A and B are shown apart, each in its own frame.
Chain A
Amino acid sequence: MPEDLEVLRKQKKMKVGQLAGKTGISAKQLVAYEKGEFIPLADRQRLARALFVDVSEINPQSTPKPKAAPKPAPKQPAREAAVPKAPAPKAAAQKQTPARSTQIDHLLGLAAALGQTRADVETAVGKPLADLTQREAKEQLGIYHRLVREQKEQRPPNTRRTRGDVPESVDTFELNYLQARQEAGDWLHIKLFDGSEKSGRLVGFSPYTLVIAGADGVETAVQKLAIAYYTVAPQEEAA
């Protein structure tokens, strides 16, 4: 039974922005899909890879949510209404709090896409980035997002590199390969970072470790971070 995109996203505890980053689909478009806009197959395939689900599990058209009934305006005494309101505590805090490093990083990333340096951004903003508040950073991110979008739209077709349709979430090929090698009882020849070599029958593995057993049966766990590459050992070596 296919599920609505929003339900699947929340099941995976992902925010719209995170999903946008993994799929290359804009956050705005994702929100539109979650509100009921039809999701083309190409985007469903990207979403399926990022969410680790089958394409058939994604409902091509999410069930539109019923619109919330407008809230009745709160009754306020006329005298009170005339008093200027203090900013909401959260908004006030955002106004004063220094921008997060992730906001600055994001801003610099967008600026780089426009060919701008940090100095260019600081000139445009009118102050050092370290002095930006969260609210100012949020405003600048909005501006830079728009500029990048406009730049993309202005490029003639076939003249830009696009984000590869290759989300960084595929982690199956090597594990499948190792599973097959272990089941076959193959010997692996492993070349380590420092140039040294090890070989043995593959007896276990995890995403971070290979466990091999030598001819004497002694098992060695090899951290994958220490490995440069490995291959099935030639028969004479295994013998």
Chain B
Amino acid sequence: MSLADHLRYLRAMQGGTGTDEIAQALGLETASPINLAEKKYAPVRDPELVRKLADYYGRPHEEFVWHNARPRKFLTFAAAAALESGDPITLTLRSGETLAGTVEWWDLSSIGLRAADGRLLVVQRHAVTDWPNATEWEDV
């Protein structure tokens, strides 16, 4: 799961605090860096911001670094590669459940995964926390 999705999840679990309020708590002039961090498809490049956000949510810094190494783009790359090769892929969800199958399609919000029993599972991308070789991609 990308840090962007993780941040949105944590904010929702906190009751949907406004990013303006979070920016104020972090001592930022505007909420733009936080809004961007929640929208980004690439990793957040500012380690200081990552640390501040981890502190704000009371989470271990390593947890945020782990999510930041798995941006949305990399899940796209993995899904696109699996679609092209036809190789099965295993997706690990936030709940710990794993789903395996072949990718039939992917788009902005979901991945169509054909399970071994023939069912098509529409997996929401924001629910996927990990996948094989998640961090081997490079966005150049």
| Given known contacts A105-B36, A177-B112, A231-B121, A193 and B127 CB-to-CB distance under 8 angstroms | yes
Known pairs A168-B108, A174-B110; list 16 more (Cβ under 8 Å): A105-B44, A108-B45, A109-B45, A166-B76, A169-B108, A173-B110, A174-B107, A174-B122, A193-B127, A228-B123, A229-B121, A229-B124, A229-B127, A230-B121, A230-B122, A232-B119
Bound Cα distance from A173 to B47, whole angstroms? 35
Measured as residues with beta carbon below 8 angstroms from the partner, the interface class of chain B is 35 or more
**What are the residues of chain A within 8 A of B126 when measuring CB–CB?**
225
A selection of 10 A-B contacts at a CB cut-off of 8 Å is A101-B36, A108-B46, A160-B140, A166-B80, A172-B107, A193-B127, A207-B109, A225-B126, A229-B113, A231-B119
Query: A229–B99 contact, CB under 8 A?
Result: yes
Interface residues as binary, B28-48 with A (CB distance below 8 Å gives 1, 0 otherwise): 001011001000011111111
Cβ-based interface call for B138 (8 A)? yes
Bound Cα distance from A172 to B95, whole angstroms? 27
Query: A105–B107 contact, CB under 8 A?
Result: no
Query: B12–A225 contact, CB under 8 A?
Result: yes
Interface residues as binary, A142-157 with B (CB distance below 8 Å gives 1, 0 otherwise): 0000000000100000
**Nearest 9 A/B pairs, CB to CB:** A108-B45, A228-B127, A171-B108, A173-B105, A229-B123, A173-B107, A174-B110, A161-B138, A170-B107
Bound Cα distance from A171 to B80, whole angstroms? 14
Measured as residues with beta carbon below 8 angstroms from the partner, the interface class of chain A is 35 or more
Cβ-based interface call for B56 (8 A)? no
Query: B46–A104 contact, CB under 8 A?
Result: yes
Interface residues as binary, A214-239 with B (CB distance below 8 Å gives 1, 0 otherwise): 00000000001101111110000000
Bound Cα distance from A174 to B120, whole angstroms? 11
> Interface SS of chain B: helix, strand, loop or mixed?
mixed
Interface residues as binary, B56-94 with A (CB distance below 8 Å gives 1, 0 otherwise): 000000000000000011001100110000000000011
Q: Which residues of A contact B (CB under 8 A)?
A: 101-102, 104-105, 108-109, 112-113, 118, 152, 160-164, 166, 168-174, 177, 191, 193-195, 207, 224-225, 227-232
Within the complex, the shortest CB–CB distance from B38 to chain A, in Å, comes to 12
Query: A228–B77 contact, CB under 8 A?
Result: no
| Given known contacts A102-B32, A105-B36, A164 and B109 CB-to-CB distance under 8 angstroms | no
Q: Which residues of B contact A (CB under 8 A)?
A: 8, 12, 30, 32-33, 36, 41-48, 72-73, 76-77, 80-81, 93-95, 97, 99, 105-110, 112-113, 119-124, 126-127, 137-140
Query: A173–B112 contact, CB under 8 A?
Result: yes
Q: Which of B99, B110, B113, B120 is packed against the most chain A CB atoms within 10 Å? A: B110
Interface residue from B73, B76, B109, B137 paired with A171 (Cβ < 8 Å): B109
Interface residue from B32, B99, B119 paired with A101 (Cβ < 8 Å): B32
Q: Which of B30, B43, B108 is packed against the most chain A CB atoms within 10 Å? A: B108
**What are the residues of chain B within 8 A of A164 when measuring CB–CB?**
73, 76-77, 80-81
Bound Cα distance from A16 to B46, whole angstroms? 25
